[in-house]
Amino acid sequence: MEETAPTFGVAHQHVEPVSKLDSKNDRLGDLTNKLNKLRSVTAKKRQKLASIMATFEDAVVDNIVYEENRQPDEVHVRDLNNRLDCMSKKLLEAQMVRDKYRGVVSSLRAEQMTYASRLQLMQRRLGEAAGARTAVTRAEQYATSVRETAQSQLSQSQQLSSEWRQERDSKLNEYKRQAEKQRSEYLHLRRQLYLGGTEHPLQSEASSGGVKLAPNVSQLVSDQLHGLYEQAKQMMENGLTVLKLPSKSSSQLPPIAALFEAVHTAVQFVMEPMQTVNVPQMMLEMDAKEFSATKSELDALDHKVRGVPPIRPPGKKRFSFLLLDRPDVIDEGPSVLTRAQMKRHAQVMIEARQRKIRPPTSRDLRKTRRRSTVIDRGLQAMF
Rounded CA gap, 206 and 30, in Å?
A: 170
Rounded CA gap, 151 and 141, in Å?
A: 15
Beta bridge partners of 204: 211
Q: What is the C-alpha radius of gyration for the chain, rounded to an integer number of angstroms?
A: 67
> In whole angstroms, how far apart are CA 92 and each of 63, 82, 84, 88, 298?
34, 15, 12, 6, 112
Rounding to the nearest 10 degrees, give the CA dihedral for residues 149, 150, 155, 156: 70
Q: What is the pLDDT of residue 10?
A: 44
Provide the angle, in degrees to the nearest 10, between the axes of the packed helices 215-244 and 73-195. Answer: 70
Provide the angle, in degrees to the nearest 10, between the axes of the packed helices 215-244 and 279-307. Answer: 110
Rounded CA gap, 243 and 245, in Å?
A: 6
Q: What is the pLDDT of residue 167?
A: 85
CA atoms within 13 A on the CB side of 9: 2
Contact 149, 321 (CB under 8 A): yes
Q: What is the pLDDT of residue 201?
A: 40
Q: Each residue's pLDDT tens digit in the chain (383 positions)?
A: 444 444 444 444 455 567 777 788 888 888 888 888 888 888 888 888 888 888 888 777 777 666 656 656 666 777 888 888 888 898 999 999 999 999 889 888 888 888 888 888 889 999 999 988 988 889 888 888 888 888 888 888 888 888 888 888 888 888 888 778 877 776 776 666 544 444 444 343 334 444 344 444 455 555 655 665 566 566 656 655 544 444 444 444 455 555 556 555 555 554 454 444 454 454 445 444 444 445 565 566 555 545 544 444 444 444 444 444 444 444 434 445 666 767 776 776 666 666 655 556 677 766 766 654 444 444 444 44
Q: What is the pLDDT of residue 321?
A: 43
Beta bridge partners of 211: 204
| Exposure class string for 100-139: b at 16+ Cβ within 10 A, else e | eeeeeeeeeeeeeeeeeeeeeeeeeeeeeeeeeeeeeeee
> In whole angstroms, how far apart are CA 366 and each of 360, 369, 371, 375?
10, 5, 9, 17
Q: What is the pLDDT of residue 215?
A: 46
CA atoms within 13 A on the CB side of 202: 18
